[in-house]
């Protein structure tokens, strides 16, 4: 991968890639793997990008797909290695990655959502329009608003009154 | 004061450390180690498969009254399993400190050497297995009634064995010995094809990454 490609086509979107990868990983080590895999897949798939959508939309979609694929693989792997690291250890490791306690709690609550709900709320928090979210998720924009409302309710419950 | 989800999200990421991107220069480190570890697990299962299979053959042969043949097959397979165990230990010695490309290249080299070695080993193991199985079974207590029937009905016998059948089996054993390397390659492809495909794919990608400026 060339440095130029990384700087011009990936780095401007590193923020959202990082945010998405964090929502799908439990440990700092996994987070780094996911981030690197996303970068690699963007580089490998760049020739398949067509101008039917924005580059940023394509990057979001690819990031989500890579994270979902890796998470499913990792679930299988973890069930094999379940005795090696307890879930408690993993959460503690992850909590050390971000110093902001409220953000950590929010991430923990987001990680408890379903894979698709996680993607929807992340895009919503990134201030994407319902239209864009629907385009990235390949769904109908009419459903997005209702879904976001439901997800926010669930997050509030999980955060147990720490948010309004 | 309570904050909204949106506020927590925005304010949390104002702090720079939450958005520091990991370095992308070690893309394949863990991927490579996972690949080799997956192969090691499969290899270990394979070794245990050989040991269990050999034990079952020994038990069955004792039951059929062909204990000697069973013992020969058991010892042969156990030798194969022991040799595989030693090779597996050698695989653990691969230096994880080298670059991912070098690490996976060493791993591929190890696999190729291993395929070559076992291909040669099976040139002997396959015929021994087939002939021992045939002779052992033929002279077992289990086949005594058939042996007697063949002796009564056929004049084409050597040491009590039907000559055409025996020649066919010997021919088959020789053919198996001759094609042992090819058969073993197919066997490896069948068992480890997916992992080997990933290995080749990863090495090709790494090669491309190394050459792209």
Q: What is the pLDDT along chain A (164 residues), one digit of tens a residue?
A: 566 777 778 888 888 899 899 888 888 888 888 888 888 888 888 777 776 678 888 888 889 988 988 888 776 666 655 544 444 444 444 544 566 788 888 888 998 998 889 989 999 998 888 888 888 888 888 888 889 999 999 998 888 766 55
What CA–CA distance (Å, rounded) separates A45 from A33? 18
Whether the model pTM is above 0.80: no
Average pLDDT estimate for B43-60: 94
One domain for residues A150 and A102: yes
Q: What is the pLDDT of residue B57?
A: 93
Task: Kindly state the helix (H) or strand (E) to which residue B157 belongs, with its residue range.
Answer: strand B157-158
Residue B173 sits at the vertex; the CA angle it makes with B168 and B175, to the nearest 5 degrees, is 95
One domain for residues A80 and A147: no
The full set of domain ranges for chain B reads 29-211
Comparing CB atoms, the residue among B6, B21, B30 nearest residue A35 is B21
| Residue A90 within any structural domain of the chain | no
**Cβ–Cβ < 8 Å for B132, B58:** no
One domain for residues A117 and A57: no
One domain for residues A17 and A57: yes
**Cβ–Cβ < 8 Å for A17, A63:** yes
| Residue A93 within any structural domain of the chain | no
CB distance from A85 to chain B under 8 Å?
no
| Residue A21 within any structural domain of the chain | yes
Confidence of residue B139 (pLDDT cuts 50, 70, 90): confident
- Tokens representing A78 are 């973890």
Instruction: Taking each helix axis as running N to C, give the angle between helix B5-12 and helix A101-111, from 0 to 180 degrees, rounded to the nearest 10.
Output: 120
Provide the number of structural domains found in chain A. Answer: 2
At B185, give phi and psi (nearest 5°).
Answer: -60, -45
Final residue in a domain of this structure, among A85, A107, A139: A85
CB distance from A113 to chain B under 8 Å?
no
Give the number of residues written for chain A.
164
CATH at A162: 1.10.10
- Tokens representing A112 are 């408890």
**Cβ–Cβ < 8 Å for B78, B70:** no
Task: Give A108's contacts in chain B (Cβ within 8 Å).
Answer: none
The pairing of beta strand B157-158 with beta strand B161-162:
antiparallel
One domain for residues A6 and A70: yes
Average pLDDT estimate for B117-132: 91
CATH at A4: 1.10.1740.10
Final residue in a domain of this structure, among A21, A55, A85: A85
One domain for residues A64 and A114: no
What CA–CA distance (Å, rounded) separates B10 from B160? 89
Structural domain range at position A16: 1-85
Q: What is the pLDDT of residue B1?
A: 46
One domain for residues A1 and A79: yes
**Cβ–Cβ < 8 Å for B86, B35:** no
Question: Cβ of A1 and B8 within 8 Å?
Answer: no
One domain for residues A2 and A81: yes
Question: Distance, in angstroms, between B12 CA and closest chain A CA?
Answer: 5
- pLDDT by residue (tens digit) across B189-205? 998 898 888 888 888 87
Interface confidence: ipTM more than 0.90: no
What CA–CA distance (Å, rounded) separates B32 from B106? 11
Q: Say which residues have a Cβ less than 8 Å from residue A108's Cβ, sequence separation at least 6.
A: A91, A95
When mean pLDDT is compared across A78-82, B3-7, B8-12, the lowest value belongs to A78-82
């Amino acid at each position: 991968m060339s440095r130029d490609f990384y700087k011009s086509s990936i780095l401007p979107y590193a923020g959202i890639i990082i945010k998405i990868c964090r929502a799908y990983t439990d440990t700092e080590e996994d987070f780094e793997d996911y981030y690197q895999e996303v970068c690699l897949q963007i580089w490998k798939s760049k020739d398949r990008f067509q101008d039917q959508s924005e580059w940023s939309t394509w990057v979001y979609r690819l990031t989500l797909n890579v994270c979902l694929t890796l998470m499913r693989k990792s679930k299988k792997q973890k069930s094999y290695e379940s005795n090696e690291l307890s879930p408690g250890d993993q959460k503690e490791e992850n909590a050390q990655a971000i110093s902001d306690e409220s953000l950590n709690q929010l991430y923990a609550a987001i990680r408890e959502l379903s894979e698709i709900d996680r993607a929807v709320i992340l895009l919503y928090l990134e201030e994407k329009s319902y239209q864009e979210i629907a385009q990235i998720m390949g769904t109908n924009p009419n459903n997005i608003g209702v879904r976001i409302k439901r997800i926010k309710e669930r997050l509030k419950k999980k955060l147990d009154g720490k948010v309004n | 004061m309570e904050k909204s989800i949106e506020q927590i999200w925005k304010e949390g990421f104002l702090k720079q450390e939450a958005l520091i991107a990991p370095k992308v220069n070690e893309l394949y480190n863990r991927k490579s180690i996972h690949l080799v570890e997956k192969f090691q697990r499969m290899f270990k299962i394979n070794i245990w498969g050989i040991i269990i299979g050999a034990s079952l053959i020994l038990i069955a042969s004792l039951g059929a009254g062909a204990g000697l043949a069973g013992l020969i097959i058991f010892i042969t397979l156990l030798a194969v399993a022991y040799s595989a165990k030693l090779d597996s230990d050698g695989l653990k010695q691969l230096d994880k400190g080298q670059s991912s490309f070098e690490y996976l290249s060493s791993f591929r080299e190890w696999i190729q050497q291993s395929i070559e070695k076992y291909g040669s080993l099976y040139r002997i193991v396959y015929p021994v297995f087939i002939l021992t199985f045939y002779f052992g079974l033929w002279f077992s207590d289990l086949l005594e009634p058939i042996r007697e029937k063949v002796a009564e009905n056929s004049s084409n016998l050597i040491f009590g064995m039907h000559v055409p059948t025996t020649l066919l089996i010997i021919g088959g054993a020789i053919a198996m010995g001759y094609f042992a390397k090819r058969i073993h390659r197919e066997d490896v492809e069948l068992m480890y094809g997916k992992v080997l495909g990933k290995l080749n794919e990863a090495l090709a990608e790494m090669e491309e990454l190394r050459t792209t400026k």
